[in-house]
A and B are shown apart, each in its own frame.
Chain A
């Protein structure tokens, strides 16, 4: 308690004057803080950021960061990182100091500590000299140390001329004792400030005029810390933050990207000839779209190279370059597809997408991470989203790109939208199983799987790489997962390069001891509800992963809408005597729905099971009731048909 009072007393001058916190005050404030004050934080931070911009929104970012180590995990963070892009900015680390608990200050020369490296994107197949990383390892860190770094970033080019945007987080995944940001900008550039998801957390904002400049100051003290939960909803939907942007209308960003793309769309004779060749004889627009889409998706391999001239990392290369090298990243492939579609008479534009994210609608920014294509109908209305980055997708737009922000880059300008979420039947697994059970307890079983939507995409991307041996291995593995005693006797599958059909395959199994027995009973696996086993683990490890927690503090989201439609038939050699079948309780709760059916004949019976999940976003209050309801689905992973042995 005393300590908290002390912290409040120390914070008092700052509470009154929301401004840059000088070093002596920072050290005094941080020195009094221990791990007991913030048991969920490994380190506590204080940041001072001062941005000074000219009339073109170019200038400097001066960032002072203080990090106090509270525990061993904080101590383990002994590396410091700074990154920059040589096309847009340069960066200098000016000071590094470690304030020890005994009052000693260790000054480290950044030139000795920091090492510059290329940012190598690893397996993503993007190569560039533009992105640089400075890495430094700090010596002899101890719990209680305060690490201070001061860095200057000089911005010499912006994505859009005279553009500035930033986010000031009130709620943050790290613990901030004090965070200050000052933006000093000519009054000719108006900044739009948006207070998003305000939950009443206290922060200060001041705006002052000084000559021809406007000075914006933002301060938050003892900022609330978000403790990350797997599958929690995205930051922009749940956290209190301030968006600062010089753009008032998304149309401006839409037009900017249109103009950035448009100059690269000039086709040459080779492209024209290829379009003519590919669309030759095709009558409908859909046919042409499919042909051109699948060609760009498959033939242009995902490959990122640099040397763009105007806005590297943002603009596409000339479509002729992408076409002739047969390589490009999302924006290159999107631009080439647009050029080819237009060549075929199909009106289209590139779209910017923020995959996995929903941007703040009120605050226009350029923070997109992907580019795809919009094809219009005859009236100029949006008709198809197409993403040629996914080299093997059957669907024009894979479902993992749903429920995220997009912006069509159009000549007239467009506004921000959200990619609509599919109905559950668009991502579906269809399965029929037929067990022919012999008197010796063995079964000749056949299984027929059909995958739709994202399930199709997931498998198709694997199967296109498969050799015969890979298929042998994959199907044998699947058979063994279905029943460890199973031997795969035969299989067949659709050609993954044939986009006209969904991925499907059939397995033929011989299961020697399909029916297990004890002295007095028979046990037959009731597989139809065992979705984990039958879904190649997608069900447990992906779709239902949000339900692993005991409770939730934040709203959460399902990864996908989906459905399973299963049917299993048991044919017995003899007439069935009295057997005990599992009783299946159905469900219809908050977007989750199940159905169960059972038809019995003389010596066979057929069961069917259906599950759908149609909702993506959930309130935290719904979590436990929903988890409890859905727990029957876990129970149904272990069901058996039981029969008494005749004496």
Chain B
């Protein structure tokens, strides 16, 4: 209760003081930006960051936002300000709504909340994040939201970040200012092709940099678009010189020092009988997958110092940092060389050089282990070894002198599928043998690895999503225990009403490949990003009960796309194997990468050719 009184007391007088200024800003704002696709207009936004000598800082935000649409109302009425209470506080200085008549509507008492975020429920030991929620009253299109708040951070670590001067709604005016002690060295970036006014001053003992935009248009929302850092107007700032410095600061904390005897004994127990370093790593990976549980955590929130190794070992759970550190200790105890911790960087930003040039903590997406060109994350029961859930990104690995590399998993992410249709005597059986890596391997493990026999059948049926088939046999997963190998499984389906009899013709569909690439737009504003590789090899054998006279397809198909360092292809070959059999070989490879907007048309044509429904049909003359 006291807390609410504090907020209300704080908000009301301050909001009163600001009211005239705000009315003036609203009145005087004139903009020529197109609002066609906008849901709100950011009338005035001022963000400033004042960094102290000890790296603590104040981050002040003040904005006036005009709501334009119903979507804008839904999106902006409830403002959530996230913070980490262990080293951050938030103070609300001003918060109110202004209606179309200019009347101010204050936030009622119980419209401000300060709650644990949802992630805390899943991992309360490691995540302590809070969100202050402000429910602005009476918002309708034409109304304004006015908010001013101050976040104080006392973590006292080197700072890096990004302030966006373009986002999904336009800015009539935005200014970002950063001030810091004169002797601090900063690296900054903003796109030179955008209309940004930059200024640099020295005020007292501080350097003050500021960036200003007027009439900054919105970023169009396109499927598979690059990140805002690449296509928007980011102001990137960092006090780190490079990834070597940042990487070292974080990764050195994971370096195993003295290995406790119990850990050494356990490690040797697992690895002693293995004859190579790689095999030792595989053995450790399997042991960790089965016996440890990685709890969700924000790496930057908890820092990179692991808990005491003995405690992690005893608990059998920990943060990603704890489990990675313990794995490295096991490796050291087993005398495995060349194993390092690795910072996995944000995939979407890895498609541009700015990620490499500007070292920022916010770019760190995950933590992994690097071993001779391979990456893996220990402690995840369902993750096949060598797959870190990203097909291509930048990675920083090492200890004292970390190395920055571009990591590519593409070709390893292979799916081999063998289908055998037995259409003899109307049996309509389909035997399927699969071998999957990477994402599919993980997905199937999550769904089925620990599933009991009856539940396995129920959920496998559901997973297949076929209304005209029942499981005749299987599914049989052959090697859940081989995390370092492709996952193999098989099943047999009985198909109902499969073959279409039509006058002199018989036809039916063969298994399709869902591309999942949205190429519906004819033109694009931005480049097209493929984040997940598609790498499928199919062999489809069809067994008829009599001699086959095939009328479609009547030849082989081959479509190729080769531009922007992306080599994609679709190959289809159909052949007879004796009188009653046909065999189809089908191959599709689309690697992760960037298709430039200039080459998008060509790529679209390629995808459209692959997607042709007739590619998945077989027509026969009776």
Residues in chain B near residue A119, CB distance under 8 A: 121
- Whether A628 sits at the interface, judged by CB under 8 Å, is yes
B611 and A631 within 8 A (CB): no
Residues in chain B near residue A326, CB distance under 8 A: 137-140
Residues in chain B near residue A11, CB distance under 8 A: none
Residues in chain B near residue A125, CB distance under 8 A: 78
**Chain B, range 86-125, C-beta contacts under 8 Å to A:** 108-111, 113, 115-118, 120-121, 124-125
- Whether B455 sits at the interface, judged by CB under 8 Å, is yes
- Whether A229 sits at the interface, judged by CB under 8 Å, is yes
Residue of B nearest to A549 (CB): B461
A642 and B71 within 8 A (CB): no
B74 and A465 within 8 A (CB): yes
Residues in chain B near residue A42, CB distance under 8 A: 450, 452
B110 and A305 within 8 A (CB): yes
Residues in chain B near residue A635, CB distance under 8 A: 468, 497-498, 500
A301 to B74, CA, bound (A): 8
Given A117-B116, A137-B125, A550 and B612 touching (CB < 8 A)? no
- Whether B135 sits at the interface, judged by CB under 8 Å, is yes
Residue of A nearest to B457 (CB): A550
- Whether B39 sits at the interface, judged by CB under 8 Å, is yes
Stretch at the interface among A204-212, A350-358, A473-481: A473-481
Stretch at the interface among B174-182, B229-237, B313-321, B362-370: B313-321
**Chain A, range 329-362, C-beta contacts under 8 Å to B:** none
Q: Which of A135, A230, A326, A550 has the most CB of B within 10 A?
A: A550
- Whether B28 sits at the interface, judged by CB under 8 Å, is no
A119 to B113, CA, bound (A): 13
B138 and A325 within 8 A (CB): yes
B467 and A627 within 8 A (CB): yes
**Chain A, range 441-496, C-beta contacts under 8 Å to B:** 464-470, 472-473, 476-477, 479-480, 483-485, 487-488
Residues in chain A near residue B585, CB distance under 8 A: none
Min CB distance B540 to A, Å, is 16
A631 and B468 within 8 A (CB): yes
B124 and A117 within 8 A (CB): yes
- Whether B356 sits at the interface, judged by CB under 8 Å, is no
B77 and A518 within 8 A (CB): no
- Whether A327 sits at the interface, judged by CB under 8 Å, is yes
Stretch at the interface among A68-76, A259-267, A277-285: A68-76
Stretch at the interface among B49-57, B267-275, B504-512: B504-512
- Whether B559 sits at the interface, judged by CB under 8 Å, is no
Min CB distance B565 to A, Å, is 26
A227 to B457, CA, bound (A): 11
Min CB distance A523 to B, Å, is 6
Binary per-residue interface labels of chain B (40-83) against chain A in the complex, 1 for a CB within 8 Å, 0 otherwise: 00000000000000000000000000000111011001100000
B458 and A580 within 8 A (CB): no
Q: Which of A72, A307, A540 contacts B290 (CB 8 A)?
A: A72
Min CB distance A145 to B, Å, is 11
B455 and A40 within 8 A (CB): yes
Given A76-B293, A582-B502, A520 and B135 touching (CB < 8 A)? no
- Whether B614 sits at the interface, judged by CB under 8 Å, is yes
- Whether A412 sits at the interface, judged by CB under 8 Å, is no
A230 and B612 within 8 A (CB): no
A149 to B507, CA, bound (A): 61
- Whether A198 sits at the interface, judged by CB under 8 Å, is no
Given A127-B113, A473-B521, A631-B496, A301 and B73 touching (CB < 8 A)? yes
Binary per-residue interface labels of chain B (604-622) against chain A in the complex, 1 for a CB within 8 Å, 0 otherwise: 0000100111100101000
- Whether B476 sits at the interface, judged by CB under 8 Å, is no
Given A127-B133, A479-B520, A642-B502, A73 and B451 touching (CB < 8 A)? yes
Min CB distance A624 to B, Å, is 8
Interface size of A as a range: 35 or more
B497 and A140 within 8 A (CB): no
- Whether A583 sits at the interface, judged by CB under 8 Å, is yes
A550 and B470 within 8 A (CB): yes
- Whether B465 sits at the interface, judged by CB under 8 Å, is yes
Min CB distance B622 to A, Å, is 11
A41 and B452 within 8 A (CB): yes
Binary per-residue interface labels of chain A (90-120) against chain B in the complex, 1 for a CB within 8 Å, 0 otherwise: 0000000000000000000000000101111
Residues in chain A near residue B450, CB distance under 8 A: 42, 71-73, 76
- Whether A299 sits at the interface, judged by CB under 8 Å, is yes
B39 and A518 within 8 A (CB): no
Given A120-B120, A139-B316, A638-B617, A327 and B500 touching (CB < 8 A)? no
- Whether B522 sits at the interface, judged by CB under 8 Å, is yes
Residues in chain A near residue B458, CB distance under 8 A: 227-230, 549
A140 to B467, CA, bound (A): 43
A551 to B462, CA, bound (A): 11
A136 to B110, CA, bound (A): 30
A125 to B111, CA, bound (A): 12
- Whether B381 sits at the interface, judged by CB under 8 Å, is yes
Residues in chain A near residue B17, CB distance under 8 A: none
- Whether B592 sits at the interface, judged by CB under 8 Å, is no
Q: Which of A73, A78, A476, A548 contacts B464 (CB 8 A)?
A: A548
Q: Which of A299, A469, A540 contacts B221 (CB 8 A)?
A: A469
Min CB distance B593 to A, Å, is 22
A307 and B554 within 8 A (CB): no
Residues in chain B near residue A22, CB distance under 8 A: none
- Whether B518 sits at the interface, judged by CB under 8 Å, is yes
Residues in chain A near residue B205, CB distance under 8 A: none
Min CB distance B474 to A, Å, is 11
B115 and A523 within 8 A (CB): no
A429 to B117, CA, bound (A): 41
Min CB distance B189 to A, Å, is 28
A581 to B381, CA, bound (A): 53
Min CB distance A36 to B, Å, is 12
Residues in chain A near residue B295, CB distance under 8 A: 137
- Whether B429 sits at the interface, judged by CB under 8 Å, is no
A327 and B135 within 8 A (CB): yes
A40 and B454 within 8 A (CB): yes
Given A324-B137, A326-B138, A472-B521, A484 and B608 touching (CB < 8 A)? yes
- Whether B471 sits at the interface, judged by CB under 8 Å, is yes
A39 to B450, CA, bound (A): 12
Residues in chain A near residue B613, CB distance under 8 A: 483-484, 525, 638
**Chain B, range 303-332, C-beta contacts under 8 Å to A:** 314-317
A227 to B461, CA, bound (A): 15
Q: Which of A516, A550, A583, A639 contacts B614 (CB 8 A)?
A: A516
Residues in chain B near residue A228, CB distance under 8 A: 455, 458
Q: Which of A324, A548, A635, A639 has the most CB of B within 10 A?
A: A548
A115 to B113, CA, bound (A): 20
B111 and A305 within 8 A (CB): yes
Min CB distance B505 to A, Å, is 6
- Whether A621 sits at the interface, judged by CB under 8 Å, is no
A121 to B140, CA, bound (A): 24
Min CB distance A257 to B, Å, is 23
**Chain A, range 25-46, C-beta contacts under 8 Å to B:** 39-42
B465 and A638 within 8 A (CB): no
Q: Which of A39, A122, A464, A631 has the most CB of B within 10 A?
A: A631
Q: Which of A41, A227, A321, A468 contacts B37 (CB 8 A)?
A: A468
Residue of A nearest to B295 (CB): A137
Given A467-B38, A627-B467, A640 and B617 touching (CB < 8 A)? yes
30 A-B pairs (CB sep. < 8 Å)? A72-B290, A120-B115, A120-B118, A129-B113, A135-B124, A137-B125, A140-B315, A303-B77, A303-B135, A305-B110, A305-B113, A307-B110, A324-B108, A326-B137, A466-B71, A467-B37, A468-B36, A470-B221, A484-B611, A519-B554, A523-B614, A580-B504, A582-B502, A627-B470, A630-B467, A631-B468, A634-B497, A635-B468, A638-B613, A640-B619
Q: Other than the known A301-B77, A325-B135, A631-B497, what 16 A-B pairs have Cβ atoms closer than 8 Å?
A: A120-B118, A127-B133, A140-B314, A301-B139, A303-B135, A470-B221, A473-B223, A484-B611, A516-B614, A548-B466, A549-B461, A550-B461, A627-B468, A638-B509, A640-B619, A642-B619
Q: Which 4 A-B pairs have the closest CB atoms?
A: A73-B450, A631-B468, A634-B468, A631-B496
